[in-house]
Amino acid sequence: MADYIYPITRLIECFRRLPGVGSKSAARMAFGVLEMPENEAEEFCAAIRSVKHDVGRCCVCCNLSDKDKCDICSDPGRDESVICVVEDARAVNALERAHEYTGTYHVLGGVISPMNGITPDKLNVKELIARLNGDVKEVIIATNPDIEGETTAVYLSKLIRPLGVKVTRLAYGVPVGADLEFADSETLARALEGRREF
Amino acid sequence: MADYIYPITRLIECFRRLPGVGSKSAARMAFGVLEMPENEAEEFCAAIRSVKHDVGRCCVCCNLSDKDKCDICSDPGRDESVICVVEDARAVNALERAHEYTGTYHVLGGVISPMNGITPDKLNVKELIARLNGDVKEVIIATNPDIEGETTAVYLSKLIRPLGVKVTRLAYGVPVGADLEFADSETLARALEGRREF
């Protein structure tokens, strides 16, 4: 009898299925649920159901949305002539937090990864191409700076450039506030390569 | 628009209410729910409801139980003449994992903590006293080795010893596998004090 009673074990198992959750944190969270007020637990269930039922994809940019067209695509203040291509909704959120970008987005829904069976046709690539209707002047590729993100960036640039649209890539370099001593050499090489005049 | 859409934000908030969950892990888990199959999400909701509705307290030891009397108290192989007093269900679980103890438990449901308004009458103390019916030979106090756990241990020992029951405390000492160099001096002092002959 070294296990918890079934209802608790079952909830621990549910938490363990979530990304980045080990057995100890799963147990701590299950006890958290046990101790929370009844109405908070009901709210939790309702919130889980809601993300499964109410969240779809924006018909323009493929970002997560609870409406047919997301808030960014519906915003007349956003510059529709620039599209920033990202892997997922979290990247959109990160870029929005920078309060710097005023164009629109396109969410690929992943990156090309033949090892995992993700080929370009599994991503929202044709939806992106369909948006390049002549009004779009620039596509900024903002996939993650890793091998798969790079592969996807190269693939997209080869696909888009022939359409007469400018294709750019987010700058590589040392992160603001970082210590050069701890930057990896690949990042430093890219930072030197991409250096700019004052 | 630096936030996620409402259904996601709401689920992130629910995860954040759980102990030890910060905003980044809450977001990661909310996206985990978004990406999990529909049936797993339903199972998750059912598991949350189940811990709220099916988990009660054992009528004997006050441990969490989905039956009137828990499995340990119902087990005829357990020695009912020894009661190990712990703070919560997690401590029972930890001791059971050690596969050393064959007596029964009593779960206090917390420790005395006047700062947080937890006085002895808020704990399952009278249920413990009611069990000391003459058949019980020893009460092992296994509250955590911190100030509140110690206070509770002293309080209980003063309450129980006059009833003619032997009261013991879990041994303090250096944890097995630890390095003496990194043991705190209080622990080392207790380990010296509690030294035993080979």
Predicted confidence band of residue A1 (pLDDT cuts 50, 70, 90): very low
Domain tally for chain A? 2
Provide the 3-class DSSP secondary structure of residue B178. Answer: coil
* Stretch A146-151: mean pLDDT: 91
How far apart are the C-alpha atoms of A105 and A179, rounded to whole Å? 31
> Does A29 contact chain B (CB < 8 Å)?
yes
Query: B69: which 2 tokens?
Result: 């009397």
CA dist B140 → A194, B123, B151, B176, B178 (Å): 68, 17, 15, 21, 25
On whether residue B188 sits in a domain, the answer given is no
* Averaged pLDDT, B125-135: 93
Query: How far does the CA of residue B9 sit from the closest CA of chain A (Å)?
Result: 9
Q: Which of residues 57-86 of A touch B (CB under 8 A)?
A: 64-66, 70-72, 75
Q: B11 and B94: one domain?
A: no
Res A65: pLDDT? 95
Give the position of tokens 């905003």. B23
Q: Average pLDDT, whole number, for chain B? A: 91
Q: State residue A120's pLDDT score.
A: 94
| A3 contacts in chain B (CB < 8 Å) | 93
- Cβ–Cβ < 8 Å for A33, A44: yes
pLDDT digits (tens, 9 = 90+) for B67-80: 999 999 999 999 99
Question: Using CA atoms, how far apart are residues A123 and A143, in angstroms rounded to an integer?
Answer: 13
- In chain B, what percentage of residues exceed pLDDT 90? 74
**What mean pLDDT do residues B6-31 have?**
94
Q: Give the Cα separation of B166 and B162 in Å (integer).
A: 9
CA–CA gap between residue A153 and residue A139 (Å, rounded): 11
Q: Nearest by CB to A1, from B18, B51, B72: name it.
A: B72
Give CA–CA dist A163/B64, Å, rounded: 66
- For an interface test with A, the pick among B1, B3, B4, B5 (most A C-beta atoms closer than 10 Å) comes out as B5
Is A34's CB within 8 Å of B51's CB? yes
> Are B25 and B79 in a shared domain?
no
**Is the confidence at residue A7, as pLDDT, over 60?**
yes
Instruction: Judge if A80 and A112 occupy the same domain.
Output: yes
- pLDDT(A2) > 60: no
In a domain, A18, yes or no: yes
User: Which pLDDT belongs to residue A195?
Assistant: 82
Q: Model confidence at B43, in pLDDT bands (50, 70, 90)?
A: very high
Q: Which residue in the set A1, A32, A96 is minimally distant from B1, CB to CB?
A: A96
The more confident residue out of A150 and B196 is A150
Average pLDDT, integer, range A50-59 = 95
Query: How much helix, strand and coil, in percent to the nearest 5, is found in chain B?
Result: 50, 15, 40
Residues B120-147 have a mean pLDDT of 93
On whether residue B160 sits in a domain, the answer given is yes
Q: Pick the residue with more confidence: A131 or B133?
A: A131
Q: What is the pLDDT of residue B72?
A: 95
Query: Residue A37, CB half-sphere, CA atoms under 13 Å: how many?
Result: 3
Predicted local distance difference test score (pLDDT) of residue A69: 95
Give a yes or no: residue A119 inside a domain.
yes
- Where do we find the tokens 């990202």? A86
Please indicate if any CB of chain A lies within 8 Å of the CB of B180.
Answer: no
User: Best of B6, B45, B107 to disrupt the A interface by mutation (most A CBs within 10 Å)?
Assistant: B45
Checking if the pLDDT of B122 tops 90, the result is yes
pLDDT tens digits along A137-146 = 999 999 998 8
Residue A50 forms contact with B (CB below 8 Å) = yes
Q: Does pLDDT of A122 surpass 60? A: yes
Degrees, nearest 5: CA angle B32-B34-B38: 110
Nearest residue of A to residue B75, measured between CA atoms: A1
Is A40's Cβ below 8 Å from some Cβ in B?
yes
Facing residue for A5 by CB, picked from B14, B40, B64 = B64
Question: Does residue B62 lie within any of the structural domains?
Answer: no
Cα–Cα dist A88/A90, whole Å: 5
Six-digit token string for B74: 């119902």
Contact B33 A44 (CB under 8 A): no
- Give the C-alpha distances (Å, rounded to integers) separating B156 from B63, B143, B161, B171: 18, 10, 8, 17
The token pair at A87 is 């892997």
Say if residue A13 is in the same domain as residue A45.
Answer: yes
Same domain for B47 and B132?
A: no
Q: What is the pLDDT of residue A83?
A: 96
B141 inside domain: yes
Q: How confident is the model at residue B1 (pLDDT cuts 50, 70, 90)?
A: very low
Containing domain of residue A38, as a range?
6-54
Radius of gyration over alpha carbons of chain A, in Å? 21
Q: Which residues in chain A have Cβ-Cβ distances shorter than 8 Å to B43? A: 14
Report chain A's mean pLDDT, rounded to a whole number: 91
CATH number at residue B31: 1.10.8.420
Among the partner-chain residues B5, B36, B52, the one whose CB lies closest to the CB of A65 is B5
What 3 state SS string does chain A have? CCCCCHHHHHHHHHHHCCCCCCHHHHHHHHHHHHHCCHHHHHHHHHHHHHHHHHCEECCCCCCEECCCCCHHHHCCCCEEEEEEEECCHHHHHHHHHCCCCCEEEEECCCCCEHHHCECHHHCCHHHHHHHCCCCCCEEEECCCCCHHHHHHHHHHHHHHHHHCCEEEECCCCCCCCCCHHHCCHHHHHHHHHCCCCC
Asked if B25 lies within 8 A of A30 by C-beta distance, the reply is no
Residues A163 and A79 in one domain: yes
Residues B46 and B85 in one domain: no
Distance between CA atoms of residues A26 and A71, nearest Å: 34
Region of B132 please: left (phi>0), alpha (psi -120 to 50) or beta: beta
Instruction: Give the per-residue pLDDT at A148.
Output: 92
User: Residue A174: what pLDDT?
Assistant: 81
A155 and A88 inside one domain: yes
Name the phi and psi angles at A85, rounded to 5. Answer: -95, 120
Nearest-angstrom CA–CA distance, A75 and A65: 14
Task: Report the predicted TM-score, pTM, of the whole model to 2 decimal places.
Answer: 0.81
